[in-house]
Amino acid sequence: MLTLTVVATKGGVGKTTLAANIGGLLRDLGFRVLLVDADVQPALTRYFKLASQAPCGITHMVMSNNLDADCISAVELPPEDFTREPGRYPPLGQLDIVCSDTSDGKLQDWLSNRLDRLVRLRMSIKTPAVAARYDFVIIDTQGAIGHLQDTAVNAADLLIAPASPDVISAREFIAGTVALLERIESSTNMGFTVPAMKAIINRAEKTVDSRSMAFLIRDQFLTMQGRVTVLDTMVNSAVAFRKAATSRVPVHWIDPQRAGVVMHQLLWELIPSLRGRRAPTMQGVEIPIGVPSELAAVATASESVSERPQHAHS
């Protein structure tokens, strides 16, 4: 079981969008996926239609230190009112969600008094029972600093950090990420390590801006303690993402040719062992492996600098 936490110190950069769409794609690849909404303002909770709403959510899960059946809501895919090409979207894999139910801040307050707050979410997810039931856990977080974000970061095997493709945002991204890593690191003397972070440039508009953003982040490799790498796959700004959210389905259903292709490439780069696996809904669509050669050249140039520190931390 692999746990991915989507994190960014900024709001509106695409955390929830990526969490929902990576989850939806993994489900279509036949995997059993658990989404966890660790944002105090429920967003992932509202992305998909629920087949049934569980009586509890993240508050009970974290406080009881256990993923009870009572905390798990099932996602309805396709949703009843999704009428496009009936029969093309068969039930595949499994997609469940632990909903956010802590908008009153109760869970955050509770965590603030706990000595084990940093490992609390990890303890409820990294159990044999959860591992037997799910292949992937994807945790969405809020854009603000807090105990819930910290415990979600610590629960991860891999951190996914969407970033906006302009230079101001890049600086913000670097400062915010360094602060986040340092904060977690300062509490990791107890023996756990900060997971590796993969940054994803999301809502790319102009390639030049996006590329300079990627450069800037790669350039800060050492400042960011060698833990952040930028994926070569960039996600363009596309209306399909909004349409998908409106229809409450993954974006590769709405726009297989473009958004579907990029989501596959992104997933393959994120988890290389999945390379070549395709959602059945992508029939007839060609998905090139790899990235445009100019980007690949950038990646190779930065790798020679980045190799040693990366190994030092692994």
Ligand X SMILES: Nc1ncnc2c1ncn2[C@@H]1O[C@H](COP(=O)(O)OP(=O)(O)O)[C@@H](O)[C@H]1O
The residue among 134 and 241 lying less far from ligand X, judged by its C-beta, is 241
User: Which two structure tokens, joined as six digits, stand for 161?
Assistant: 């950090």
* Number of residues forming the site for ligand X (CB under 6 A): 18
Which of positions 188-217 make contact with ligand X (CB under 6 A)?
Answer: 202-203
- Which CB sits closer to ligand X, 69 or 168? 168
Residue 191 CB contacts under 8 Å (≥ 6 apart), including other chains = none
Residue recorded with tokens 């899960």: 61
Measured from the CB atom, is 77 or 245 closer to ligand X? 245
Identity at 34, one-letter amino acid code: L
Cα–Cα distance measured from residue 208 to residue 205, given in angstroms and rounded to the nearest whole number: 9
Which residues are bridge partners to 141 per DSSP?
Answer: 38
Beta carbon nearer to ligand X, 32 or 243: 243
Closer Cβ to ligand X, 29 or 38, answer by number: 38
**Helix, strand or coil, per DSSP, at residue 310:** helix
Q: Which does 12 bind (CB under 5 to 8 A by kind): Mg ion, ligand X, none?
A: ligand X
Q: Is 241 in the site for ligand X (CB under 6 A)?
A: yes
Shortest reach from residue 49's CB to ligand X, in Å: 17
The 135-174 site mask, x for binding ligand X (CB under 6 A), equals --------x-------------------------------
Among positions 3, 5, 17, 102, the unique one binding ligand X when judged by CB under 6 A: 17
Please identify which residue in 4, 5, 9, 14 interacts with ligand X, judged by CB under 6 A: 14
Chain contacts with Mg ion (rule: CB under 5 A): 15-16, 43
Residues 81-140 contacting ligand X, CB under 6 A: none
Burial (CB count within 10 angstroms: exposed 0-12, middle 13-18, buried 19+), residue 245: buried
Q: Which two tokens stand for residue 71?
A: 């905390």
Q: How far is CA 174 from CA 24, 164, 217, in A?
A: 29, 12, 7
Neighbours of 87 (CB within 10 A): 5
In this structure, are residues 16 and 241 in contact, taking their beta carbons and an 8 Å threshold? no
User: Would you count residue 223 as binding ligand X (CB under 6 A)?
Assistant: no
Torsion of CA 256, 257, 259, 263, to 10 degrees: 70
Binding site for ligand X (CB under 6 A): 8, 11-17, 43, 143, 202-203, 235, 237-238, 241-242, 245
